[in-house]
Structure 1
């Protein structure tokens, strides 16, 4: 007999199997020796009261022993001429490739950037010298932006596909099994490269192809059908199916689509700053303590406020994290955040952004939101003074319109410069942030402080362009065989939702 039940544990009891059995027996009102084994289904932290606890959803096996097998996926060697070109080796592209293999279709991935090992050198140059390689950076390369920006797997995309399958694939390729049960699963930037490499090796071992330094430069079209792509202005790769999974920062792809008169649309996005606090402030506020227990992970937060009908919200919160320079072109500043698996850095950062609507940027140009985004990033670079030095301001100084006399120690390696962020942010964005930050401070003790630094700009929260597609076939309405996919097309927002969208696009090819 099996029964599911929720139990609670003190943080120091979370790894104590005997305590778990004791609590299960008490909750089920049975003798402890009747529980032959158990499986934790979900695990979360409840810090709403003064006493922080863990909540566990557990399946108990009563009077029976069942050995549950972990789910694995097999990818047999492909022996077929049927192929699909996948543009981009981010989570959408990699999971689309794995699903193609399951479906008996040979995936051919083309990726403009480098593999994870070669990518590291370019990231070192960005952080230490302020040098941006426009083809290999935090956004471009094997694994996409997610590889070197944290690996958060939390998603609300329950209705779009099988979340557990995505998590199981990560575990099969080296992720810790904890991601299957944690309420907010997280892999860590230090562990993702090996996992991404393992996924690529699975694809290649099954007969798929992965090409690096392979930039899509044109489409091969026959009337309203796609017939393949041109890579690096020279090489033709032919297929009647192309999954376009290029991520939200590949601006040249949007420009190419517009040049080829392939329909694209302007899309709302969000813009703001990355805010960093000492992690101890966040721990103290969220766990109601002076010093965080060794049995608790660094605390996270999620904030949202409505300011004059405009949403202001935290985004991509990184406990124990680092602010990273994520520019993809020269003379622009873009910041993001990441954290290692242990989340053991002394700072906590989060994007804090304001909704930008289509009415905020007038015109009919489908690239107008992208151009607006680019202008802000270039202005941030100019005000920062070059070499990816980021403009920054203390939190209360920003709200009170004061130039910060100095800046607190922070994690952004290229360096920060004290400026008035009003010089960079549009007035309605700055005003919305100034109204929201004190309100955030009322929700979380210690949040509103001059120990916090605002670093600009956080501008790549989502794509400012949508590539339309049919809801049923996932194909572009004008071009048969072209499958706009995931974040770059405006249909996902994070690693898991992008992976699910890649799977759905691969299945759409099979259905066709």
Structure 2
């Protein structure tokens, strides 16, 4: 049985294992001769006061204790096994496929977009030519939305499944082992493509299949049981187990289900703007002026307030990051953020969003599953029109927004397609703009210096989560009406990021195994 102890060290001591060991041994009241081995189990920054410190959880194995090493990933050869269709190759779909291979099932993955490398050409076209490929963009394609929008692995979903297993699989396929110990693990958009490729190759090597440019266009259901799927409106394939892991932006899937009388529901979501500061400012605020310390990473922040009965909070905060265009159709604009693994860009960005219930919306109708989706689409199209019907986005300096002034100029922005000066109070819906105005002032009191006209708001941040949920049985994880259909991940309303989506993919396969 290992022993755990909590210690704190200075940032400059984090690479000195002898000092860390000495401090931990004293805290645990142990001698070096009494231990067989040790490791850092968890690591987090404590920046609540000066000096900034690192909190470490140290795990010791005493002499004669066995440190059991269990293989992280244990594939089987499944080329002749029972087939499971997986719709979507985002984190939920890929992890479902990997779990199938472990469990002796053959995954057959259908991804509407392109492979992770080929996607890059379409992302470049959005940035340079303002052209959106509706099947290949920041949201659609191998790896899903997280691949080219940061790769943050934060999750609060500890009760949903095995977080450590999900992280260990990432390490097995090429991620840095630091993600196993960091409080806020992050891979980085520059490193994820290689990892995603390794996952796909493992699936295929074990006998599974991965098909790109393969879009689900219909379902065949008989006696409340899934029987077949149609791909690209031309080919029917028989399956009696289908995992629907299509992501939060696959609106056509919601319409497809509704047209087939398969129940879907409106779901609370959030909408707002993406805010960009200079990273140096955020470092200065969060590290209490100790922002020149070379041993400290770029600082992040987390903010939340209740404003007029609605939560306003930071979302997907990207230190040293870039704001990216994440539309999935030509006549809309959407922002998101990402960071490279080193987080070494000069900008910091974060979504600042207002949490919305269906009944809060002016277009609310009881029982309408599309009330939130329609509102989301309306905001994205209105922002597209306000910025000149390109992939530029409407923008405003923070204080100007609160005071209702159109910004005369802007500091440099990381958003490559460009920004257009507008009064966001006239573009965003009043219930959103009103609460954002109040929240920014409140956030400025929490973080001295955050409320500044050097910060620029980019609108909208609207794809925080799916505005529609696909209801499923809590025990079987099958749709409440259709046997063999497993709504999964963010698109179905059961995840809120890469790790929670990955865990949900694993859980859906486990449900099939139990069945």
Q: TM-score, normalised by structure 1?
A: 0.98
SS of the residue corresponding to residue 262 of structure 2 reads coil
Verify: 1:236 aligned to 2:236, yes or no.
yes
Shift of 1:71: 4.0
Counterpart of 2:422 in structure 1 is 419
> Structure 2 vs 1, CA of residues 24 and 208 (structure 1 numbering), >3 Å: closer, same or farther?
same
Shift of 1:291: 3.2
8 Å Cα contact 2:395/2:420 also seen in 1: yes
Q: Deviations over 1:360-406 (max 9, x none)?
A: 23113211211111011001000000220110000000001111111
Shift of 1:2: 4.1
Counterpart of 2:167 in structure 1 is 167
SS of the residue corresponding to residue 337 of structure 1 reads strand
Counterpart of 2:200 in structure 1 is 200
Counterpart of 2:501 in structure 1 is 498
Give the alignment of 1:182-261 within 5 angstroms: 182-261=182-261
Counterpart of 2:108 in structure 1 is 108
Counterpart of 2:440 in structure 1 is 437
Q: Deviations over 1:463-486 (max 9, x none)?
A: 111111111111111111111111
Q: Deviations over 1:115-151 (max 9, x none)?
A: 0110000011111111111100000000000100111
Shift of 1:423: 2.0
Give the alignment of 1:18-37 within 5 angstroms: 18-37=18-37
Shift of 1:3: 2.4
After TM superposition, the structure 1 stretch with the greater mean CA deviation from structure 2, 284-293 or 347-356, is: 284-293
Separation in structure 2 between the aligned mates of residue 300 and residue 293 of structure 1, nearest angstrom? 15
Verify: 1:176 aligned to 2:176, yes or no.
yes
SS of the residue corresponding to residue 351 of structure 2 reads strand
Counterpart of 1:45 in structure 2 is 45
8 Å Cα contact 1:37/1:65 also seen in 2: no
SS of the residue corresponding to residue 144 of structure 1 reads coil
After TM superposition, the structure 1 stretch with the greater mean CA deviation from structure 2, 223-232 or 448-457, is: 223-232
Counterpart of 1:398 in structure 2 is 401
Separation in structure 2 between the aligned mates of residue 495 and residue 297 of structure 1, nearest angstrom? 22
Shift of 1:69: 3.3
Shift of 1:223: 2.8
Separation in structure 1 between the aligned mates of residue 63 and residue 217 of structure 2, nearest angstrom? 63
Shift of 1:290: 5.3
SS of the residue corresponding to residue 50 of structure 2 reads coil
8 Å Cα contact 1:123/1:138 also seen in 2: yes
Separation in structure 2 between the aligned mates of residue 444 and residue 70 of structure 1, nearest angstrom? 44
Separation in structure 2 between the aligned mates of residue 368 and residue 285 of structure 1, nearest angstrom? 40
Counterpart of 1:452 in structure 2 is 455
Name structure 1 gaps, 5 residues minimum.
Answer: none
Shift of 1:355: 1.3
Give the alignment of 1:315-464 within 5 angstroms: 315-361=315-361, 362-363=364-365, 364-464=367-467
Separation in structure 2 between the aligned mates of residue 404 and residue 13 of structure 1, nearest angstrom? 45
8 Å Cα contact 1:115/1:142 also seen in 2: yes
8 Å Cα contact 2:79/2:206 also seen in 1: no
8 Å Cα contact 1:274/1:350 also seen in 2: yes
8 Å Cα contact 1:43/1:181 also seen in 2: yes
8 Å Cα contact 2:76/2:103 also seen in 1: no
Aligned equivalent of 1:480, options 479, 483, 488: 483
Counterpart of 2:299 in structure 1 is 299
Count of residue correspondences: 512
SS of the residue corresponding to residue 114 of structure 1 reads coil
Shift of 1:72: 2.0
The alignment yields a C-alpha RMSD, in angstroms, of: 1.3
Shift of 1:62: 3.9
8 Å Cα contact 1:85/1:228 also seen in 2: no
Shift of 1:82: 1.1
8 Å Cα contact 2:81/2:104 also seen in 1: no
Verify: 1:471 aligned to 2:474, yes or no.
yes
Q: Deviations over 1:154-203 (max 9, x none)?
A: 10111111000000100000000000000000000000000000001010
Separation in structure 2 between the aligned mates of residue 245 and residue 36 of structure 1, nearest angstrom? 44
Separation in structure 1 between the aligned mates of residue 68 and residue 445 of structure 2, nearest angstrom? 47
SS of the residue corresponding to residue 117 of structure 2 reads helix
Separation in structure 1 between the aligned mates of residue 36 and residue 318 of structure 2, nearest angstrom? 39
SS of the residue corresponding to residue 134 of structure 1 reads coil
Shift of 1:68: 5.7
After TM superposition, the structure 1 stretch with the greater mean CA deviation from structure 2, 9-18 or 291-300, is: 291-300
